[in-house]
Structure 1
Amino acid sequence: MGVYDFDLESYIGLARRLGTDTKRVEVKAAAQGLPKSMAETLSAFSNTSGGVVVLGLAERAGFQAVPGFKARAVADALAQMCGEKMEPPVRASVEIVEFEGSPVVVATVPELPPELKPCFVKSRAMHDGSYARVGDGDRRLSPYEVDRLLEGRRPPRYDREVVEGAAMGDFDEELLEGFMRRQRADSPRAFKGMSDEELLEALCVTARDGEGIVRPTLAGLMALGRFPQRYFPRACLSFTVIPGTSKADVSAEGLRFLDSREIVGPIPVMISELMVALRRNVRVSSKVEGAFRIDRLEYPETAVREAVANALMHRDYSLDGCASQVQVTMYGDRIEILSPGGLCRAMTVDRLGELGVSFPRNQALANILRATPYAEGFAEVGSVVENKGTGYFQIRASLREVNMPEPVAIDHITAFEVALYKAGAGAEAGRFGFGFGGRAGGGGRGGVRLPEGAAGGKIVRSVTEWSDETGRFHTIHVLAPGTVECDIVDFLEEAPAPVSSRILMDALGKSKATISRALNRLMDKSLVERLGPSRGPGAVYRLVQ
């Protein structure tokens, strides 16, 4: 959103009605010159989704122009701050415009690409001067969050590090032999003449410590070890079954958890054990085709298995990250998989599922898991992952096959979450007789149900529809936080009156085409309704009552 795309008059009209500025726009009086806190806002906008700064209007006075505002001096000071006091420099577009007969400064701050984050205040250094935009304020990032942003600049190498105290005897012989056999079969020329010791070292399964002793790497131990948790106690899986759609729900017997367990072992064993626990806790539907009976779980096994494998492979294995486990939580209407560490490098939520697009945080571990077999005695066969950037694509495809909603992906700086929702209304779901999400969890405005989230107060919106025939709500859509549709719903919930698409464009920083497409999708889902003419500037939008 450039300065000339920002409709200042429309936005200030909205801000006056709301009585506050918003996440994407910061309004300051700057009566005594450029506020020192402006550096924090520049950092916050650069590290999140960008935004607009408006200087010369007093929020406490109803966003009226500041008498005697020195627009030129403030604009020059802001441009200087962007170029000289921020690292990397903020490439903001700074202009002086007229508003209600008075000059104001309007600056558009773009989001930095991942490889340049974090943007920080030079005088405070990176780990003390990096901020993120939260609501309509700026929050200083923790050192751990800064370190995760730095992974956008260069891939981390924690998975290649030698595990102090570990020895070759810590490997699972069955998994190790299967891994080497697969590697030699796939690349006979590359490994011709190499000893097993040389092969393992070449593939980062092992490495030499400072004294020249060959030891397992973190990647080698997590993929092929007997009990990696001996060295990394929290590098495991937790599996919990909640009786309702919120962690606050309890069963009729007063139980908070229907099942709760910690799953340990190498990654292939943890995945298989998790699938065993899942099969024990989900309903199975059957249908007869000819002479055969076909059983199917409430959730496609491929989707769950791929999501858990991705979580274990791409999670944060830094010293701080290893203090947290991957959490798999099964609610009455969904499964949530939460892993430490957000998306890495150039990967974004929008690019998930693109064939061939892969930016693994742990490159050595990903390469090892490609040839790591599942352990004998479990239902899983083949290798743990394909390592071809198809994992998320397979999740989406397997959900579509049974008419289930798209997966909901939520990227935080310090964590990544995927939610898989039960089948909603649809022919395939009806044929198999799957249950739908119930009324538990409360209701929101406009037919929007707001179940409690699992991470950091996150809210996932599930669009629901009441059926008199079944006597329950059917989940038919999911809106993920961070999407344009969800941002529009957020905005309309706060707006005291219907708003135009222009106001939505200015408030959310999106183009006319993007807002129009999102509004059409929301209207198709009966979430938003249009008032006034079907086309033209007179149309306004509100949540369906």
Structure 2
Amino acid sequence: MLSQQDLIEIISKGENPYIEFKEEKIRPNDLAGEIVSFANMEGGTIIIGVSDDGIIKGVFAEDIEEKIMNICRNNCIPNIIPIYKEININGLKVVVLTIPKGINKPYYTVDNKYYIRVGTTKRIASREELMRLFQASGAVHFDISSVEGTTKKDINMDLIRDYFLKYNMFDLYEETEEAVDRILVNADILKEGINTKECTVGGLLIFGKKVEDKLPQSGISFAHFKGNDITEELIDKKQIVGNLPDIVEQSLVIIKNNIKTPSTIVGALREEKETYPSVVLREALVNAVVHRNYSIIGSKIRILMFSDRIEFHSPGKLPNTVTIDKMKIGVSYSRNPFLVKYMENLRYIDQLGRGIPMIIKNMKDLGAREPELREIGEEFVLTIYESD
């Protein structure tokens, strides 16, 4: 419960990415923009009756709550339901409006402006930021968008032929070129462009040649540190590129080669102890490559290996309705349905939603500390601790 003293302390510290001051006479659309900007990000608090420099000026309108709720209902689309509270400070009424993190992103104002919160201000979302908001809502899937400047020559037709032979029981090479193009478009591997057919993001990621040339954000950066901190001596460093099946297999080999495997002598035999089970590592890798946000251009998946743990850093926050607690009990989400479908058919995914519970159970059964799931900035991080 926010007290008067708590509010005075908050105001004294000034505005920040989660706190905004507004005076009573703010225009409805301006207030709607502030509300929308918080809902599109991580949520925040608007304190009404306080100037930008932290001077408490108060709110005097008797119907202020009704006015604000009308703005939330009529000027914000979809409508937003904030937590409204009035607090008296030295005889002046101050309104505290708490905006939750939105579950129906993207939100916009009645004049069709999509705002996000950046630092202590709101601004209109860029094209890339807007794409991420639509992805979070499930309305747009980046993995079936086209990659500009690509053609059918950028995908490995032998891999695609093998895929269709195995799962669709026909030979792509027996089809006419026109029929092949139609099949690839229907399979979302190619997409109709303005002048030609272009590869989709998913088509390149699963079947592409030199994927990293067209999608530099693809691939994995691996680093192994001697101790338990990123400042420790670097033992090994690798850049892992290729299509997703190759990346998973290469990464698994690299991680295993960097794991010290303890052993004990039982009778005349040496028995090695598996500190990180292969099934856990494989699942963590598949989760990272399938569920990361590929619209974030400047970031790769990062695997950081320490003496006591392995961290899998995957670019992109969790989608709208997904929480870490839900993931732990097997609630699934599909940011990239194309990738999920094809990796499932290629037997890299057993059943959507089972991965995280399986990782947690396997590591706990080995006596290891429970794996951690966290959102840090624009990354989702899975940490697996070494078993004793």
TM-score by length of 1: 0.58
When residues 414 and 47 of structure 1 are mapped into structure 2, their CA distance, relative to the original with a 3 A threshold, is: same
Residue number in structure 2 paired with 1:307: 284
Task: Give the drift of 1:283.
Answer: 1.0
Task: Give the drift of 1:284.
Answer: 0.7
Counterpart pick for 1:117 among 78, 89, 105: 105
**8 A contact 2:334–2:340 mirrored in 1:** yes
Residue number in structure 2 paired with 1:43: 36
Which secondary structure does the structure 1 equivalent of 2:282 belong to? helix
**8 A contact 1:120–1:131 mirrored in 2:** no
Residue number in structure 2 paired with 1:89: 79
CA distance in 1, matches of 2:367, 2:281: 15
Task: Give the drift of 1:40.
Answer: 5.4
Residue number in structure 2 paired with 1:344: 319
Residue number in structure 1 paired with 2:187: 203
Task: List runs of 5+ in structure 2 lacking aligned partners.
Answer: none
Task: Give the drift of 1:367.
Answer: 0.9
Percentage of matched positions with identical amino acids = 21
Q: How many matched pairs?
A: 379
CA distance in 2, matches of 1:322, 1:60: 37
Counterpart pick for 2:370 among 406, 411, 426: 406
Residue number in structure 1 paired with 2:156: 171
When residues 57 and 159 of structure 1 are mapped into structure 2, their CA distance, relative to the original with a 3 A threshold, is: closer
CA distance in 1, matches of 2:163, 2:271: 33
Counterpart pick for 1:366 among 317, 320, 340: 340
CA distance in 1, matches of 2:131, 2:326: 22
Which secondary structure does the structure 2 equivalent of 1:385 belong to? coil
Aligned pairs for 1:374-523 (under 5 A) are 383-411=347-375, 414-423=378-387, 429=388
Deviations for 1:61-117, whole angstroms, at most 9, x for unmatched residues?
Answer: 8x9x757x414264455345434443433333546566676544344434421xx22
Residue number in structure 1 paired with 2:229: 246
CA distance in 1, matches of 2:199, 2:49: 61
CA distance in 1, matches of 2:53, 2:320: 41
**8 A contact 1:283–1:297 mirrored in 2:** no
CA distance in 1, matches of 2:129, 2:195: 34
When residues 57 and 364 of structure 1 are mapped into structure 2, their CA distance, relative to the original with a 3 A threshold, is: closer
Residue 346 of structure 1 aligns with an amino acid whose one-letter code is T
Which secondary structure does the structure 1 equivalent of 2:215 belong to? coil
1:333 paired to 2:301: no
Deviations for 1:414-458, whole angstroms, at most 9, x for unmatched residues?
Answer: 4332222334xxxxx1xxxxxxxxxxxxxxxxxxxxxxxxxxxxx
Counterpart pick for 2:236 among 250, 253, 259: 259
CA distance in 2, matches of 1:167, 1:322: 22
Residue 365 of structure 1 aligns with an amino acid whose one-letter code is L
Q: Which segment drifts farther, 270-279 or 69-78?
A: 69-78
Counterpart pick for 1:183 among 154, 162, 167: 167
Task: Give the drift of 1:177.
Answer: 5.2
Task: Give the drift of 1:169.
Answer: 7.7
Deviations for 1:249-284, whole angstroms, at most 9, x for unmatched residues?
Answer: 243xxxxx3211211121111111112211222211
Task: List runs of 5+ in structure 1 lacking aligned partners.
Answer: 1-6, 252-256, 373-382, 424-428, 430-545
CA distance in 1, matches of 2:124, 2:351: 32
Residue number in structure 2 paired with 1:493: none
CA distance in 1, matches of 2:193, 2:37: 41
CA distance in 1, matches of 2:199, 2:48: 57
- C-alpha RMSD of the superposition: 4.1
